[in-house]
Amino acid sequence: MDTSVLALMPGGYEWMLILLVVLLFFGKRIPGVARSLGSGISEFKAGLREGNEEARKKIDSDADAAAAAKKDQTGS
């Protein structure tokens, strides 16, 4: 990486100052943002579980139908 770009990057104390300024301006909003982010993640995981259950049921029903069809072919 070009050293001139690295020279423009803030150091440790500058990052702490930036964090302090962000906390001063947005400190009251951070808990609400974190709460909504957490509920969004929970809803996403619930949707994944629901989708997996539906896919599993579909696979099971298809396997049962295939087994029944095979049984009908061999039994006839």
Q: Helical H runs in the chain?
A: 3-8, 12-26, 30-75
Task: Identify the weakest region by mean pLDDT among 28-32, 43-47, 48-52.
Answer: 28-32
- Mean local confidence (pLDDT), 35-53: 96
Q: What amino acid occupies position 46?
A: A
- pLDDT tens-place string over residues 3-42: 777 778 888 899 999 999 989 988 888 889 899 999 999 9
Break the chain into its structural domains and give their ranges: 3-75
pTM for the predicted model, two decimal places: 0.53
Residue in the block written with tokens 């964090």:
19
Model confidence at 51: pLDDT above 90: yes
